[in-house]
């Protein structure tokens, strides 16, 4: 075989090997993602299923996990957030509310709600840290905790508020609770 003919045969063999090697499965017999993505489509046997990737569904809105609220305490606006739950959903349905808050036990301000809150999926009780907005189920009351309260059955945490000192230092007050 002449050198020029040998070079042509070797070049053709290398080209064929590279072409076939690019479409060959990886070492374990499974095509890699890059090999599968770059492979040209092939006809399949009539009996073998084909795999058509389905693009992921995109949603335009993220689920709401918190709702901003304001509570008027005398002439001061206190802001807070309610975490998404069955109880907060039923509270939000009642807003806006004008509530009469009174001090209870030197640790919280409490106000009766006009309707009970849903308790689906809520704990049977909890403790509360300063700045917690809670629902006290036995009294059907909204509670603004300004001091630490240990675990009690019936305390349902709903969210948090930011101005603990204003709530703590306020005498009994009528305040408006609104969602923003």
Q: How many CB atoms lie within 10 A of CB 122?
A: 18
CA geometry: angle at 158 spanning 168 and 87, to 5°?
A: 135
Going by pLDDT thresholds of 50, 70 and 90, the confidence category of residue 60 is low
Decide: 86 and 119 in contact? Cβ < 8 Å: yes
Mean predicted confidence (pLDDT) in 38-65:
52
Query: What is the reported pLDDT for 173?
Result: 97
| pLDDT in the model for residue 32 | 44
Q: Tell me the C-alpha distance between 154 and 138, whole Å.
A: 6
How is 44-69 classified by DSSP, letter by letter? --TTS------PPP--SSPPP-EEEE
Start-to-end CA distance of the chain, whole Å, equals 87
pLDDT at 179 over 90: yes
Neighbours of 110 (CB within 10 A): 19
Phi, psi of 21 (to 5 degrees): -65, -30
**For residues 39-67, average pLDDT:** 56
Res. 50: pLDDT tops 80: no
* Cα distance between residue 54 and residue 72, in whole Å: 51
For 124-165, write each residue's pLDDT tens digit.
999 999 999 999 999 999 999 999 999 999 999 999 999 999
Q: What pLDDT does residue 58 have? A: 52
- Determine the 3-state secondary structure of 86 from DSSP: helix
CA distance 97 to 130: 22
* Residue 89 pLDDT greater than 90, yes or no: yes
Over the stretch 106-125, which tens digit does the pLDDT of each residue have? 999 999 999 999 999 999 99
What pLDDT was estimated at residue 64?
67
5-38 pLDDT per residue, tens: 544 444 444 444 444 444 444 444 444 444 444 4
Q: Please give the pLDDT value at position 99.
A: 98
64 vs 82: CA distance, rounded Å: 11
Q: What is the mean pLDDT of residues 58-77?
A: 83
Q: With beta carbons less than 8 A apart as the criterion, state whether 129 and 164 touch.
A: no
pLDDT at site 63: 67
Query: Would you say the pTM of this structure is higher than 0.85?
Result: no
Distance of CA 57 to the CA centre of its chain: 18
CA 137 to centroid of chain Cα atoms:
26
Q: What is the mean pLDDT of the chain?
A: 80
């Amino acid at each position: 075989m002449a050198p020029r003919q040998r070079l042509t045969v070797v070049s053709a063999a290398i080209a064929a090997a590279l072409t076939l090697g690019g479409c060959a499965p990886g070492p374990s017999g499974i095509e890699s993602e890059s090999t599968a993505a770059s492979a040209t489509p092939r006809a399949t046997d009539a009996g073998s299923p084909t795999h058509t990737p389905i693009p992921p569904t995109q949603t335009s809105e993220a689920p709401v996990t918190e709702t901003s609220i304001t509570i008027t305490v005398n002439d001061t606006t206190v802001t807070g957030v309610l975490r998404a739950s069955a109880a907060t959903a039923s509270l939000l349905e009642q807003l806006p509310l004008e509530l009469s808050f009174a001090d209870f036990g030197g640790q919280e301000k409490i106000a009766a709600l006009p309707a009970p809150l849903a308790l689906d999926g809520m704990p049977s009780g909890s403790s509360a840290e300063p700045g917690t907005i809670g629902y006290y189920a036995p009294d059907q009351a909204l509670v603004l905790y300004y001091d630490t309260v240990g675990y009690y059955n019936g305390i349902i945490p709903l969210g948090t508020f930011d101005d603990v000192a204003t709530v703590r230092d306020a005498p009994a007050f009528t305040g408006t609770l609104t969602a923003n």
